[in-house]
Chains A and B, each alone.
Chain A
Amino acid sequence: MTEHSRSAAASPEHAAHVMPPSVLLGTAATLMVLTVLTVATSRIDLGEWNVVLALAIACTKAALVALFFMHLKYENRFQLVVLVSAVVFAALFVSFVMFDTIQYQPDIRAAETQVQPKGS
């Protein structure tokens, strides 16, 4: 594992983690397989679970990109904290808005059915 040169004496950037070709190509191959998987599963009707499965596969792919292509796995933990906190806040943003929009669905449906007979 000469790739993992972590000698403190060397110039600072020498201390960085060099990704071996096997890891880069392995990550790429896994991403391709997951792309095929996401297309294949979209053909099967799982109702509401289709989107859950598609997002689960997308999250796995994103995690692979972050860990290996963006070498987050070998990085100072602070970089991980920055990315994870941004993702957590984005998820909070999306989920609270979704709670709200789903909460008012019955009211919207009721209003729509009241309006329609007049319009038609």
Chain B
Amino acid sequence: MSDHASGHGGGSAAAAPEERFLAHHFPTMQAQSDTSKLGIWLFLGSEVLFFSGLFVAYGVYRANHYALFHYAHNFLDWRMGALNTVVLVGSSVSAAWSVRCAQLGQRRGLRISLLITLLLAGMFLVVKYFEYSHKLHNGIAWGAACHPSKEILATLPAALQGVPPPKDLGTFFSIYYLMTGLHGIHVLVGMGLYVWLIRRAGRGDFGPGYYVPVDSVALYWHLVDMIWIFLFPLLYLI
């Protein structure tokens, strides 16, 4: 996204202030924002396909090892997952709100809503960090490295007490760590983008005439939220 003003239109004095963000290869702001919008949607389409491979892995392993999945989900705390769902929905609202503020030229509202989105994204990762560290601390890792500790086995429902854990328990957790990990990387990237937006918003770059970056990052953020909407029931609520 072009930070640089590029002397477009022969430096006409009558140009709107946002024209300084018009890249030289676009004839108008309209053409630039329409192109960005199509570009970001094509990227989101490729993201859906990117994640679909992991959903296939999930589907195949679940179909073949339903009992394993049902056993393994006892190690996931649905309250943590539900909390993160609420956090992400909240961050999506503030992301959508930031687009609204930019469109209406509300600069203070824009900065606040961008900051709230960033903080909620950070909160999501903090919750995720507690989940991951609790699991890894108790030997619940991926693949062959998955050896649940006695302490965590003792927290299983009474019906599963004394039953040895299935030998391929690590397969479920490979899928769990890959799906939530790839999603977590997307959250991390989103946080970087929000830091960038907050800096630019502080500089007063965005307004009704130019808010393509706010809109594009918000669209990306909503997709990250959408993927979590599927991960939460599939992993935590089997």
Contact = CB atoms under 8 A, between A and B. Distances in A.
Interface of A: 11-14, 16, 18-19, 21, 24-25, 27-28, 31-32, 35, 38-39, 42, 50-51, 54-55, 57-58, 61-62, 65-66, 68-71, 75-76, 78-79, 82-83, 85-87, 89-90, 93-94, 97-98, 101-102, 105, 108
B29 A24 contact: no
A82 B39 CA distance: 10
Given A13-B29, A13-B210, A65 B60 contact: no
Interface in B53-84: 53, 55-56, 59-60, 63-64, 78, 82
B208 A86 contact: no
Nearest to A43: B237
A82 B42 contact: yes
B209 A55 contact: no
B103 A39 contact: no
B229 A93 contact: no
30 contacts: A11-B29, A12-B29, A12-B33, A12-B34, A13-B29, A13-B30, A18-B103, A18-B104, A24-B97, A25-B93, A27-B93, A35-B89, A51-B238, A54-B237, A55-B230, A58-B232, A61-B226, A61-B229, A69-B96, A75-B37, A82-B44, A83-B44, A86-B45, A86-B48, A87-B48, A89-B52, A94-B52, A101-B64, A102-B63, A108-B64
**Contact-size category for B:** 35 or more
A90 B230 contact: no
A86 to B, nearest CB: 3
B229 A62 contact: yes
B59 A94 contact: yes
Chain A interface mostly? helix
Contacts of B139: none
B33 to A, nearest CB: 6
B93 A13 contact: no
A82 to B, nearest CB: 5
